[in-house]
Structures are given as structure tokens and as C-alpha cells.
Structure 1
Amino acid sequence: MTQSVSAAIAAALLTGEPRDKVMQVRALARAWRKGTLAWDWAVPMPDRPAVPPGLQLLPPGQMPRRRKGGSEATRVALWHSLAHIEFMAIDLALDAAGRFGEAQGPDFVSDFLAVAADEAMHWSLIARKLRTLDSHYAALPAHDGLWEAADATKGDVAARLAVVPMVLEARGLDVTPAARDRIRASGDEGGARILQRILDDEIRHVAVGAKHFAQVAQRRGESYENYWEMLVRQHFHGTLKPPFNDSARQAAGLPRRVYVALA
């Protein structure tokens, strides 16, 4: 019996063991590309995805402060936080495809399953890096703020696109170059290459969100810029902090005039 796309996505979301999830996401994306998944949306998405065994999730305000400097513990904490971001990014992309795909259509599903596969690859690169530091994902606590944003926008695809790719992931475009440069300056060229690969891919991921947001806004008869600003003010409780990586944001389809009013 052919597996449905909704069942396959829900199963991946409910897989908490990281390497199992990565393999499942790769198989899911491959099956979708080959057209072997049934267009059936009977299986609902879980309220939240499974987490890795032993991972302690904390509210963002309770996370221990990461010390600056070049100590081994500081490096482990940095790569662990990046591993968590990428792991949650897998689930955010899967949830977008599974929660909104039926209404938004095959192009939307294709785009977000491809994003999920990229994020799984990013996680694998970082997990390998952690192993070189004699650590692993779930060795340290991680914050739960990313899924809070997903939960807050689960009722509206426009809100999800406005907040997750166009605010949270776009923030990665701003902060990743400085992290890459610090890592390179410390002599870790391999680590710098990992962050450069992530940055290159994230530009494309933000562009996916911006593209589909523009399509939703057009269908609803809304102004792209005004609608985005309204949804961000309504659903995002943080702040947009400069400096911005204007060139990367422009490449992702986010011109400066769109986000500078909220800074």
C-alpha cells in the first residue's frame, strides 16, 4: 500500500532520535521527488515534534549564558546551539509542508521538503563537528523558542511564512557571517566552511518563504509589505535587531524597505 505524504511527514516529525530523523527525512524527500507518496492528507500533524532522548529544553530566558573566548567548552556550546537550531529547522520545514501543504499545493510541499532535507544535511555536518570536539547533540540544554514561534503561527500559513522564514531564518543571514569569520580567525577553516554552506543554503530557504508569502498575499488581495508588517507585529514578540546583512536579504527577496520599519 502506498504511503501518504501526510503519514510520511508526521512519522518524520515524531522521530526524535536525530540520526533516524535525518535518514527518514532524506527518504521522505526522495520518495516525494519520485512521486511515490499518495496525495492524501488524512494524517494530522502532531502538536509538537519528538525531541532527542535526553535533550533538556529550557525557556530562552533560562538558558545558561554562553561565555566568550576560545575555550573548548565555549566551542562545544556554540556548535551545540547551532546543532539545535538546525534540528529544529528540520521540524519547522516538515511542519510547514505537512500542516499547510494540502491547501497550498505541490509546489509548496516540494519547496519545504527540499528545505527539510537541506536542514538535515546541515545538522549532520554539525553533528560530525561536535564529535571532533568529543561531544554530541543533547549533551547540553537547548532553548525551546523556535517551536514557540511555530505553535503561535499554526493556524495561518501567511503568519508562519512571515515569522519563521522571513524573520527567524532571515536573522541567521545577519549573524552567520560574523560567526563564520570568528571561527575562521581561530584557525578552524573546516568549521568556517560549514557555516558558509549553511549561509548559502539559508539564503535560498528565506527566498522560499518570501516567494510563497508573496503568493498568499496576492491571493488574499493584500499588500506584500503592509501584510508582512502586520503579521510580524501580531505574531512575533521579539525585535528585529540591526545590523542587517542587506545583500543576503536582498538575494533572498527581502528588500531593505520591507524590514527596516520594524527594526
Structure 2
Amino acid sequence: MSSEPREAGAPATLRQAAIEALRAADLDEKVERTNLACRLWFGRRLGLHAPHDPALPDRPGRPAEPVLVSPRTVKRRSVHTETGRIALIHALAHIELNAIDLALDIVARFASERVPRSFFDGWMTVALEEAKHFRLLSRRLESLGSHYGALPAHDGLWQAVEATAHDLGARLAVVPLILEARGLDVTPSLLEKLLEVGDADTAAILEIIYRDEKKHVAIGAKWFRFLCAREGRNPAQRFQELVRASFRGDVKAPFNDRARAEAGLTPTFYRSLSPLSS
């Protein structure tokens, strides 16, 4: 760690910095604290964790809006009208906001796990890129006369934290290798639709997100395989066990097998979990 003096009030550990960003209810502050945590960590100016670190919150900080509703009540979003595209971008921004907090949570919750320092390098990179995605989508909403928080959003993503809080392997199986991998499946067709209706600006943002998501799934697959190798387990079999135990939902086809494989997630992991597999 660097011997440079810390600024007054600056976090002393990565766990503290991640928790402070996780707790922030003001979303500009959340993004800034995430960026600060990354700068300090990659500048080797933080320890990993300490006994005096603040407590991990049960839920991340959030503003009063958007109103959170059941996923079943969120309307389908069409790209063929501006109103529909605003609703779509809002939904994507909500996903990316949750993704910031999911990355911060894995760093803070598992800071004492017996893993190499590069594990935390990977997840802080994810947090930094999710913050970039959220800011890009928020600015796109503003350019269309709306803003994040203007529409209801669902609370389904944070359930993954609660279901996998007990086990790093389960967290890796469910968050990057189920939830993020789903983005690899659906984003290419969504990009095509946006380009068909002439929304090149939103499509350009999704291109960035798609490229980064592939990296995030690869980080998840790398560390999931690391844990399995350390425990002497078959990665695909262990993945299926953990998903059946910790994921509340279907592993939905169709799959972008090529993008998934490029990220280290081969069909032997997920095909047998899909209701459509034969």
C-alpha cells in the first residue's frame, strides 16, 4: 500500500470504501464514491479490510424514486415509440444501478475470503464500469426529456444478494453467470431493433455495455473456476447445484452460446438448467 498520507475522511480500506458507496442514497454520490474507491484501490492506497470497517447494510442506499414494484406489474417496453424507448432505457438504467451495488457488495461481503488480491481488482473494475453504464443511460434519459426515477422499477435483482449472502460460490454462480450472462443473450437483438428505428445514440451505449458485460461474465467464470479447483469440484456440476439451490427463476433460452463461451461459460454449465433443454 502507498505511504502517501490519506486525506481527512478518506476511507482506509477497500471494504470501507465499498460500503460507503453502497450506502449512498444520492446516486451522483454513489457513482463518485465508486470511482473514488477504484482510484484509491488501484493506486494501492487502501488496505483490504479492518475490524473498524462500517457494517454492511441490508440494502443499498436509494433515493425516494423510482417507486419499486413487483416485476409482474412492470409493463413491456417497445422500441417503436419514444415513450417505449424511454421506458426501456429507464429499465436498463435500473439494472445498471443494481449492478453497481452487486459489485460493491461482493467486494465488501467477501473481503475476508481467502482469494488473491486480483479478485478484488476484477470486481472493482466491474463496479467502475457499471457506474459508467448507469451514468451513460441516465444522461440519455435526460436528453430525451426524462430522468432516472421517473418511472416505476422492480426490485427483483437485489433478491440475488439475499439468496447468496452465505456463499461466494453461489454469488458468482447467480450474479455474473446467470444475471449478467442473460445480458449477453438479449442485447444483440435489442441493438438490432434500436438501429432499425434509428436510435443510434442508445444503440451506441448498448454496444459499450455488451462489450463490458462479456468481460464481467469472464471475471465471474474465472473466479468460479478458481473456487472449484481449490475445492476439487467439477465446475459445471457445482454451478448447476448452486443455481438450483440459490436462484429463484428459470435459466431462459435462447442462449448466445458464442458470447458465453468467449467469456468462459460453455453450454455444459447451463443447458441442462433450461426448461427448453432436451
TM bracket (short chain): over 0.9
- Which AA in structure 2 matches 1:3? A
Q: Which residue of 1 aligns with 2:25?
A: 16
2:82 aligned with 1:72, yes or no?
A: yes
Q: Which residue of 2 aligns with 1:31?
A: 40
Identity of aligned residues (%): 43
Shift of 1:40: 2.2
The one-character-per-residue Cα deviations of 1:113-151 (angstroms, maximum 9, x if unpaired) are 110000000111101110111111111111111100111
Query: What is the CA–CA distance in structure 1 between the aligned matches of 2:209 and 2:218, rounded to whole Å?
Result: 14
- Which AA in structure 1 matches 2:147? H
Query: What is the CA–CA distance in structure 2 between the aligned matches of 1:69 and 1:251, rounded to whole Å?
Result: 29
Query: What is the CA–CA distance in structure 2 between the aligned matches of 1:59 and 1:259, rounded to whole Å?
Result: 27
Q: Which consecutive residues of structure 1, in runs of 5 or more, have no partner in the other structure?
A: none
Q: How is 1:167-178 mapped onto 2 (pairs within 5 angstroms)? A: 167-178=178-189
2:17 aligned with 1:3, yes or no?
A: no
Q: Which residue of 1 aligns with 2:152?
A: 141
RMSD, matched Cα: 1.3
Higher helix share: 1
Cα distance change of structure 1 residues 69 and 173 upon mapping to structure 2, 3 Å threshold: closer
Q: Which residue of 2 aligns with 1:216?
A: 227
Query: What is the CA–CA distance in structure 2 between the aligned matches of 1:139 and 1:34, rounded to whole Å?
Result: 37
Q: Which residue of 2 aligns with 1:180?
A: 191
Query: What is the CA–CA distance in structure 2 between the aligned matches of 1:219 and 1:153, rounded to whole Å?
Result: 20
Q: Provide the aligned length of Structure 1 versus Structure 2.
A: 262
- Normalised by the size of structure 2, how large is the TM-score? 0.91
Q: How is 1:36-185 mapped onto 2 (pairs within 5 angstroms)? A: 36-42=45-51, 43=53, 44-61=55-72, 63-68=73-78, 70-103=80-113, 104-185=115-196
Query: What is the CA–CA distance in structure 2 between the aligned matches of 1:25 and 1:126, rounded to whole Å?
Result: 17
Query: What is the CA–CA distance in structure 1 between the aligned matches of 2:222 and 2:77, rounded to whole Å?
Result: 38
Q: Which residue of 1 aligns with 2:3?
A: none
Q: Which consecutive residues of structure 2, in runs of 5 or more, have no partner in the other structure?
A: 1-5
Shift of 1:67: 4.5
Write out the 4+ residue segments of structure 1 that deviate beyond 3 Å after TM superposition.
Answer: none
- Normalised by the size of structure 1, how large is the TM-score? 0.96
Q: Secondary structure at the match of 2:110?
A: helix
The one-character-per-residue Cα deviations of 1:136-187 (angstroms, maximum 9, x if unpaired) are 1111111111100111100100000000000010000000111111111111
- Which AA in structure 1 matches 2:258? S
Q: How is 1:247-258 mapped onto 2 (pairs within 5 angstroms)? A: 247-258=258-269
Asked if structure 2 preserves the Cα contact closer than 8 Å seen for 1:17 and 1:53, the reply is no
Q: Which sits farther off after the overlay, 36-45 or 10-19?
A: 36-45
